[in-house]
Structure 1
Amino acid sequence: MTKKEVGHNFLARLGKKRVRPGGITATNWLIEQGQFSKDSHVLEVACNMCTTSIELVQTYGCSIEGVDRVPKALEKARANICEAGLDELVHVQQANAMKLPFPDDSFDIIINEAMLTMLGDEAKIKAIKEYLRVLKPGGRLLTHDVSFTEERMGEQLASLRQTINANVEPLHVANWQKLFEEQGFSSVKLNYGKMTLMSIPGMIKDEGFWGTLRITYRGLKKENRQQFLKMYRFFNKAGKDLTYIAVCSTK
């Protein structure tokens, strides 16, 4: 394809089901912090195809509202929900994270993966304030984003934006923590480590051996090869010191 695609959309088109910076490892840590149960009322912001929501409902029997801004993602999400037979427990709608269509104190848990990184500083604050508003007292916000611990990685941000065709704004680990604390969360717990989005071990862990082979095969087709190799080389060389950061913030 000659048209530039945003990185996570490109990988999803190749068949990658988990397009999060820290893969299933970071997602599983968040789920542990969430303390999900069948009584949990959950909101997933930027639910995409609802892979995580479906897994949560299948495991815990909780009820989930999902929101996303992309109609095609919601169309796929509804098909996945229907196929899983979970229409009564998972509902999705188009909505903006900075203006959520829910009353105050609505949810026990909010999960939002790989989205805040895509927002500028002011938009990050607006979204987090909305999350705080719709969380019940004592509720938990679970987020998963791109970060870095080495100050020099700030120099790589222009290359990252060019590589994934998106104007991303990752923060230093300390600044992510400060961001949540300054918006009024009473407790902020962090987990961070090496990004696994396009490392071979990370892809195998997230997608399985055969899934990784299928994604790589599609990525190396003529129409995809340039962007696939560009992303692979960046994340495994110049951008190898980028980290994922998973955060559990309690209202």
Structure 2
Amino acid sequence: MNSEVHSAPVSSANAQDSSNAATIAAQDHQFEDKDIATVPGHWLLARLGRRVLRPGGLALTQAMLNKAHLDNADVCEFAPGIGRTAEEIIAHKPHSYVGIDRNADVVDIVNNIVRDYGEVRLANAQDTHLPAESVDVVVGEAILSMQSDEDKLAIMKEAFRVLRPGGHYALHELGLEPDSLDETIKNDIRTDVSRAIKVNARPATKHEWLALLEQAGFQFEWSEAAPMLLMEPERVMADEGKERARVIMHNMATIPGAKERVMEMKQTFGKYREYLRGIAFVVRKPL
């Protein structure tokens, strides 16, 4: 999860990371002088070396992108962070790419990844400054879950505005199951998860997500859910690979206060495992 800041690689991870070696200093700068005890959970995990901070993991992101009609498309990504999803988007050979992020460090980092296809611009997902009907696909992951319903809707409406008719919006967020989940349990989950990750968390059921998307004007095309196992070793291995997983474990053991924070988050997510999901959608702007 993130709030327009995503994961950061560490220099000793894997071969793919070495291609981004020039960005290491900028990434490290993002995390220096931050208090491990109070820093938001996504910052902490990025500091440990996590690159994939998606509720349903890399596999759900890839499934979503496969349904998003990216080939030869003009693509906009909201809050690309360190660029892990940008790498996946570029692998689909879009016609062009533009990222929108409010973190100045991110702009330089992701520009190194997408320079053959476009650029990242410093702006906010609620007000991108992009022309209306200028892109074919908007991708946004793990930013809406941290927003109020009002702000979720504002970001969705901005995606709708910049999309051409027939264009697609692909999103991957934190979900709740079942749709009939009791409001008291929802509130407990939101309170406890927010306390653990030090960021306001507003996960929603599939029905609630769809209601907001329809209110923004979108038509449903596809959805899939996956277990929310962000903190579990098997998900870390699947998302990051063996070498990076070792680095993450080493950092967790050696950075003061990191292990305690990770265990707090892990226990909270485990407590609500039967209800929490990663959920992805691809929706369409009507012709």
Aligned residue among 27, 31, 43 for 1:9: 43
Deviates more, 1:145-154 or 1:172-181: 145-154
TM-score by length of 1: 0.91
Match of 1:26 among 60, 69, 90: 60
Q: Percent identity?
A: 28
Q: What is the CA distance between 1:229 and its match in structure 2?
A: 1.4
Question: Which one is further off, 126-135 or 178-187?
Answer: 178-187
Where do 4+ consecutive residues of structure 1 move more than 6 Å? none
Picking from 184, 198, 205, the partner of 1:165 is 198
1:143 and 2:171 are equivalent in the alignment: yes
Moved more, 109-118 or 235-244: 235-244
Structure 1 residues 204-251: Cα deviation after superposition (integer angstroms, max 9, x where no partner): 110012221211221122331221111122223344531011010100
Question: Does the Cα contact within 8 Å between 2:75 and 2:94 map onto a contact in 1?
Answer: no
- Relative distance call for 1:208 and 1:240 in structure 2 (3 A) is farther
| Deviation larger for 68-77 or 175-184 | 68-77
2:274 & 2:197 partners in 1: Cα distance? Answer: 15
What amino acid does structure 2 have at the position aligned with 1:245? I
Query: In the alignment, what sits opposite 2:124?
Result: 96
Counterparts of 2:94 and 2:136 in 1: how far apart (Å)? 14
Kindly provide the amino acid, as one letter, of the partner of residue 102 in structure 1: L
SS in 2 for 1:93: strand
Matched, 1:191 2:191: no
Q: Check conservation: 1:195, 1:240, Cα contact below 8 A.
A: no
Kept in 1, the 8 Å contact 2:37–2:257? The answer is: no
Deviates more, 1:59-68 or 1:136-145: 59-68
* Alpha-carbon separation, structure 1, partners of 2:175 and 2:281: 11
What is the rounded CA distance, in whole Å, between the counterparts of 2:88 and 2:69 in structure 1? 15
1:125 and 2:153 are equivalent in the alignment:
yes
Per the alignment, do residues 52 and 90 of structure 1 end up closer, same or farther by CA in structure 2, a change over 3 Å counting?
Answer: farther
Say what the alpha-carbon RMSD is for the aligned residues.
1.7
Give the equivalent residue in structure 2 for 1:111.
139
What is the alpha-carbon distance in structure 1 between the residues aligned to residue 37 and residue 266 of structure 2?
18
Q: Which runs of 5+ in 2 are unaligned?
A: 1-34
Residue 210 of structure 1 corresponds to 243
Matched letter for residue 69 of structure 1 = R
User: What is the CA distance between 1:171 and its match in structure 2?
Assistant: 0.9
Q: Note if contact 1:110-1:131 (Cα within 8 Å) is conserved in structure 2.
A: yes
**Where do residues 60-75 of structure 1 align in structure 2 (5 Å cutoff)?**
60-75=93-108
State TM-score, norm by structure 2: 0.80
Listed as ranges, the gaps of 5+ residues in structure 1 are none
Secondary structure at the counterpart of residue 257 of structure 2:
helix
1:50 partnered with 2:50 = no
Distance in 1 of aligned mates of 2:229 and 2:170: 19
Aligned residues: 245
